[in-house]
Amino acid sequence: MTASHTATTSIYPARRLGMPAQATSGARQGGATRADTLADSAARQGRQALLDAALFSASNELWDESCWHLHRYAQLLLRDPLDASRLDALCALARQTVRLRQCLREAADVDQALTRRLAELARDLCFEVVRQLASVADLGHHLSTLLAVAEVLDSLGDRDDAHAMRQQALHGLQGLALKRA
């Protein structure tokens, strides 16, 4: 298998779909020991395996199994220390959850309860990201994350919440413009 073949047809569905690699997520600050970095690496690989299993299950229309893997991935991701890469990963997971929900809705036998659970998971992830945004010092990242959350909420049909997120981002931009003037 060539390197170009691996890049385009990876056996890891998350890499094909452009999901973010969790390279820095969960990394401990300060004097980390070799055991700590190995444990962090194992945790990242475990989370990636859960995401890959969710996407593989979805591609085989095993919707309940895929939903379980996404929930478990979210639980593990929420245990990581708070940093910008974790918020990006949570946003990406929310987008992936919405995609899975849309695929499920297009399936022949739609499980309405499962589509509701996926929508709730995506909403919960969005609001968890917004709740934790106060700790992000980079205003640009803060605003782009708000807009990403608004996009996810909009795709779920939560127009009012999406509008509120866009308004927050707009107020942040206005504040930045006033600060520079």
Per-residue model confidence (pLDDT) at position 48: 80
How many helical (H) and strand (E) elements, i.e. helices and strands, does the chain have?
8, 0
Check pLDDT > 60 for residue 164.
yes
Domains in the chain, CATH or no CATH each: 33-180 (1.25.40.10)
Nearest to 56 by CA among 89, 90, 17, 22: 17
Average pLDDT over residues 10-34: 42
In sequence order, the 6+-apart residues with CB closer than 8 A to the CB of 151 are 95, 162
Over residues 32-88, the pLDDT tens digits come to 565 557 767 777 777 788 888 888 888 778 888 888 888 888 888 888 777 788 888
- The answer to whether the pTM exceeds 0.75 is no
Per-residue model confidence (pLDDT) at position 10: 35
3-state secondary structure of 133: helix
Check pLDDT > 70 for residue 117.
yes
Nearest to 104 by CA among 123, 118, 120: 118
CA distance 5 to 41: 25
Bigger pLDDT: 34 or 23? 34
Check pLDDT > 80 for residue 15.
no
Per-residue model confidence (pLDDT) at position 181: 63
Average pLDDT over residues 150-167: 92
